[in-house]
Amino acid sequence: MESTRNLLIEILEKNKNNYISGEQMSKMLGISRTAVWKHMKELQKDGYEIEGISKKGYKITQFPSKVSVNTLQWGSKTKWLGKTLIHKHSTGSTQIIGHQLAVEGTPHGTVVVADVQTEGKGRFDRKWHSSNNKGIWMSIVLRPNLLPNQAPQITLLAATVIADVIKSKTGLSPNIKWPNDVLINNKKVSGILTEMQAEQDRIQYMVLGIGININQSVETLANDIKASATSLRIESTIEWNIRDLIQETLAHFEQAYDSFIDEGFSPIKSKWESYAYMIGQSVRIKTFKKETTAQLIGIKEDGALIIKNEDGSHESLYSAEIQW
Ligand code: BT5
């Protein structure tokens, strides 16, 4: 059923500039014309706009922007990511659901998406503004066969994926601010929160939280982030299809994750460096122990940030904030 509908969407997408008859579709899908018609009705319920003209056939005029389990799974380009998918209209935080599901044994690649989060979380218990239908608020449960100290690599991988999606879909030029911010024109458009449950030598599970501001206007951004945050709409003046961007992000993530598992971190490191923010420049950096001025040099294979202190010494940081 699901794969028939996926195929149907694929056929409609390929033929979006012309009409395709019910008979052609029934032959291509190996189902009756009545069954084709029933699938069309289901698609329409989920926001696909399909024009049907007798003797000519069907043509899709609008893909849905509405986010639902159906619209995310139909037309999805992933093999394993998001096959278990939970969509909430409103929830405290998708991270909390991700942890609950992980503890209950949900499979690797489970995705939780919300239209609005009432208690979106950043790192160190900071707040993450997640307004209704204005962005991507989602968590991915992963069960990687990695050592706990490799977890930061997943954060960096996710940042390159988000930067890639933004660049390829919108043509904008994102940067990545170590470790977990994606910026456009020096303002934060996306943040990543990586949480995990681990034993000394094994990650039990990770919950990777991704927040991307999509359709906020300057007026609708919360006051405390107006000066520091942005959205794809603010930067491009275009309203974006959130469903499409979620699917795109999942497809890119799956590909990047699989190649990370096969080929290791090197290709991601190079890509990360191509997006890196302020590399080579002097910045203020705050760690738990100190606040200092240092030059950003790059990242290590394990994801640590390499800085050059004012006395010329190099240092690797695993937890720090680069100040604005
Ligand atoms: C982050 O923390 O950037 C991680 C954000 C992760 C959000 C996702 S959404 C899905 C999942 N469910 C959750 O509950 N969380 C994850 P951090 O680096 O600590 O940045 C937090 C800081 O970013 C805040 O203190 C604000 O200054 C700023 N901020 C808050 N909301 C923002 C927004 N929507 N856009 C840009 N900046 C924001």
Q: pTM score > 0.90 for this model?
A: yes
| Spatial contact of 252 and 161, defined as CB atoms under 8 Å apart | yes
Compute the radius of gyration of the chain from its Cα atoms. 22
The reply to whether ipTM tops 0.90 is yes
| Spatial contact of 119 and 92, defined as CB atoms under 8 Å apart | yes
- Which amino acid belongs to residue 197? Q
pLDDT at 5: 86
Mean pLDDT of 218-227: 96
Q: Is the pLDDT of residue 284 over 80?
A: yes
Q: How many residues does the chain have?
A: 324
Q: Is any ligand 1 atom within 6 A of the Cβ of residue 129? A: yes
**pLDDT tens digits, one per residue of 231-269:** 999 999 999 999 999 999 999 999 999 999 999 999 999
Would strands 85-91 and 174-177 be described as parallel, antiparallel, or unpaired?
A: unpaired
Mean pLDDT of 59-71: 89
| Spatial contact of 113 and 211, defined as CB atoms under 8 Å apart | no
Q: What's the pLDDT band for 2 if we cut at 50, 70, 90? A: low
Ligand 1 midpoint to CA 121 (Å): 6
**pLDDT tens digits, one per residue of 72-107:** 998 788 999 999 999 999 999 999 999 999 999 999
| Separation of alpha carbons 67 and 83, rounded Å | 15
Q: Is the pLDDT of residue 31 over 60?
A: yes
Where residue 104 falls (left for φ over 0; alpha for ψ -120 to 50; beta otherwise) is alpha
Q: Is the pLDDT of residue 3 over 90?
A: no
In the chain, CATH 3.30.930.10 sits at 69-275
Q: What's the pLDDT band for 7 if we cut at 50, 70, 90? A: confident
**What is the share, in percent, of the chain residues with pLDDT greater than 90?**
82
pLDDT at 13: 86
First to last CA, the chain: 50
Would strands 314-317 and 305-309 be described as parallel, antiparallel, or unpaired?
A: antiparallel
In the chain, CATH 2.30.30.100 sits at 282-322
Enumerate residues 6+ apart whose C-beta is below 8 A from 142.
108, 109, 154, 205, 206, 207, 208, 257
Considering the four listed CATH numbers 3.40.50.410, 3.30.930.10, 3.20.20.100, 3.40.50.11540, the one that applies to the domain covering 69-275 is 3.30.930.10
Mean pLDDT of 23-41: 93
pLDDT at 64: 87
pLDDT at 1: 54
Q: Is any ligand 1 atom within 6 A of the Cβ of residue 98? A: no
Looking at every residue in the chain, the average pLDDT score rounds to 94
Q: What is the residue with the minimal CA distance to atom 16 of ligand 1? A: 209
| Separation of alpha carbons 297 and 303, rounded Å | 13
CB atoms inside a 10 Å sphere around CB 146: 18
Q: Is any ligand 1 atom within 6 A of the Cβ of residue 128? A: yes
Q: What's the pLDDT band for 148 if we cut at 50, 70, 90? A: very high
- Which amino acid belongs to residue 68? S
| Separation of alpha carbons 234 and 232, rounded Å | 6
Is CATH 1.10.3720.10 correct for 282-322?
no
pLDDT at 55: 87
pLDDT at 249: 98
Q: Is any ligand 1 atom within 6 A of the Cβ of residue 209? A: yes
Mean pLDDT of 182-211: 97
Among the listed residues 206, 190, 101, the one whose alpha carbon sits nearest the alpha carbon of residue 152: 206
CATH architecture of 2-62: Orthogonal Bundle (1.10)
Q: Is the pLDDT of residue 10 over 90?
A: no
pLDDT at 199: 92
Note the maximum CA span of the chain: 79
| Spatial contact of 121 and 128, defined as CB atoms under 8 Å apart | yes
In the chain, CATH 1.10.10.10 sits at 2-62
β-sheet with 187-199: strand ranges across: 85-91, 110-117, 135-142, 202-213, 187-199, 181-184, 174-177
Q: Is the pLDDT of residue 21 over 70?
A: yes
Q: Is any ligand 1 atom within 6 A of the Cβ of residue 194? A: no
- Which amino acid belongs to residue 223? N
What are the φ/ψ torsions at residue 271 (nearest 5 degrees)?
A: -65, -45
Residue 95, both tokens: 């991270």
**pLDDT tens digits, one per residue of 99-144:** 999 999 999 999 999 999 999 999 999 999 999 999 999 999 999 9
From the CA of 191, give the closest atom in ligand 1. 3
Q: Is the pLDDT of residue 324 over 80?
A: no
81 or 43, which is more confident: 81
Residue 65, both tokens: 């922007």
Q: What's the pLDDT band for 315 if we cut at 50, 70, 90? A: very high
Among the listed residues 156, 154, 163, the one whose alpha carbon sits nearest the alpha carbon of residue 207: 154
Q: What's the pLDDT band for 63 if we cut at 50, 70, 90? A: confident
